[in-house]
Structure 1
Amino acid sequence: MPYEPPTHRVERSIRALTGARLVAGVDEVGRGAWAGPVTVCAAVTGLRRPPEGLTDSKLLTPLRRAALTEVLTDWVTSYALGHASPQEIDALGMTAALRLAAVRALEGLPERPDAVILDGKHDYLGAPWQVRTVIKGDQSCVAVAAASVIAKVRRDAMLAELGTAHPEFAFDSNAGYPSPVHRAALAELGPTPHHRLSWAYMDALPRWRHLKLPSHRDAAADETLEDAGQLGMF
């Protein structure tokens, strides 16, 4: 399906209105997974022409994402990743865990950005960061699209590595999202140390329900949004 390539329009607007010099694009992946961390990438790209084919990671095949990431990691001015573990998600709820991962990513950049373009409509970052939220920013903004692709590829690789100790869960193919193989392994074997134990799926596991932790309303809401076979898409 044809798509419009991302542009620097939002970044130029932020620079013109606020005088910001360094603008970072931020995107997350793993929000709706049942296992693994939520991962945030912060990317600074400047106003250079982006690599051919750059767009939201969900619109790219795994092979194209991997090839593009090799180009992007050299092309971007800088980037950094931040993660919040399943244990932190259980303890804090998803909104706070997202903020934690995002701050870790932003603070991992060599220079603190003056402004942040955040994918989506909700500002989970907040003060003291100067944030512009952009719905479908991973399709329309160059820096956010770059962050989207890098975050997806790096988290997928992380889940594949975690899955070597738990091959029955097929983390290498589902990235911790609820595929049929993942669901069947959970029912039979119970959760691994990489699972989010406060989430509602635990209620449907009679043998393992006793392991469920108290849930957070925001985590449950995020789970519901992405719990229908959206295998690693976010």
Structure 2
Amino acid sequence: MKPTATARTPVDRRPFDDTNAKGILIAGVDEAGRGPLAGPVVVAAVVLNPQQPVDGLDDSKKLSEARREKLFPLIIERALAYCVVVVERDEIDRINIFQATMTGMSRAVAGLTPAAVEAWVDGNHLPKDLPCPGRAIIGGDALVPAISAASILAKVTRDRLMMAMDTEHPGYGFAAHKGYSTPEHLAALKRLGPCPQHRHSFAPVRLLLDQGELF
């Protein structure tokens, strides 16, 4: 299933300032898990507190696992607001991964208390049903601290879920590759067939299902 064609949000080149120095509640929004063959996509929204900064924020992919785990509780403790949303595999298959990600972003922003006045989203698309004005920022997870914080919450949450999934569905190596299409994962998928957490709408999984290799 291919994502529904959607016009890209025009690139916004205004300066970035999410410090809330003027009392404006700006949420950073990011996701983890769009590309894997298995498991959920996780979205986080974070409003940082300028009075309690978190040092060392960056794109979660640039940080070590140990560093992400250290930053995770600091973000939760010091943020003015945060919300983490898990969009499960069945919903991904039902509406496709792009729409599932956009839906998760809208839910995460809507779940913030206090509510955000504006949401800054990593990437070049904005959900159509955001509960507040939004701004798409390409590479925002490395440019905007609030988006960096969101990327860390999303990544750590999803990694923990995938490690638990490794216990529930042994043999696939979920704890190591987190569901991504590594050679080891593809070999296990071919050997064992899909498990209930594999995304049926993704080509390597769908091919096995079409061939009748059902779990």
TM-score, normalization: structure 1? 0.77
Counterpart contact for 2:109–2:131, Cα < 8 Å: no
Matched, 1:11 2:14: no
> Which range moves more in the overlay, 106-115 or 130-139?
106-115
Query: For the residues of structure 1 that align with 2:157 and 2:212, how far apart are their CA atoms?
Result: 29
Matched, 1:114 2:117: yes
Query: For the residues of structure 1 that align with 2:147 and 2:45, how far apart are their CA atoms?
Result: 8
Query: For the residues of structure 2 that align with 1:73 and 1:138, how far apart are their CA atoms?
Result: 17
Matched, 1:38 2:41: yes
Counterpart contact for 2:198–2:205, Cα < 8 Å: no
Higher fraction of helix: 1
1:167 is displaced (CA, Å) by: 1.9
Counterpart contact for 1:102–1:125, Cα < 8 Å: no
| Secondary structure of the structure 2 residue equivalent to 1:167 | coil
Matched, 1:144 2:147: yes
Stretches of structure 1 that go unaligned for 5 or more consecutive residues are 1-7, 213-234
Counterpart for residue 216 of structure 1: none
Counterpart contact for 2:102–2:126, Cα < 8 Å: no
Query: For the residues of structure 1 that align with 2:161 and 2:206, how far apart are their CA atoms?
Result: 27
Counterpart contact for 2:21–2:50, Cα < 8 Å: no
Please list the CA deviations of residues 121-162 of structure 1 after superposition, one character each: whole Å capped at 9, or x if unmatched. 111344553111111111111110000111100110011111
1:184 is displaced (CA, Å) by: 1.2
| Secondary structure of the structure 2 residue equivalent to 1:178 | coil
Counterpart for residue 154 of structure 1: 157
Counterpart contact for 2:27–2:119, Cα < 8 Å: yes
1:40 is displaced (CA, Å) by: 0.3
Give the root-mean-square deviation of aligned CA atoms.
2.3
1:51 is displaced (CA, Å) by: 2.2
Query: For the residues of structure 2 that align with 1:10 and 1:23, how far apart are their CA atoms?
Result: 9
The counterpart of 2:84, out of the listed 65, 81, 84, is 81
TM-score, normalization: structure 2? 0.84
Counterpart contact for 2:140–2:148, Cα < 8 Å: yes
Query: For the residues of structure 2 that align with 1:147 and 1:50, how far apart are their CA atoms?
Result: 14
* Aligned counterparts, 1:43-192, within 5 A: 43-48=46-51, 50-192=53-195
> Which range moves more in the overlay, 124-133 or 91-100?
124-133
Counterpart contact for 1:82–1:103, Cα < 8 Å: no
Stretches of structure 2 that go unaligned for 5 or more consecutive residues are 1-14
Counterpart contact for 2:118–2:133, Cα < 8 Å: yes
Counterpart contact for 1:83–1:104, Cα < 8 Å: no
Q: How many residues align?
A: 199
Counterpart for residue 209 of structure 1: 210
Query: For the residues of structure 1 that align with 2:212 and 2:82, how far apart are their CA atoms?
Result: 37
Overall identity of the aligned pairs, in %: 36
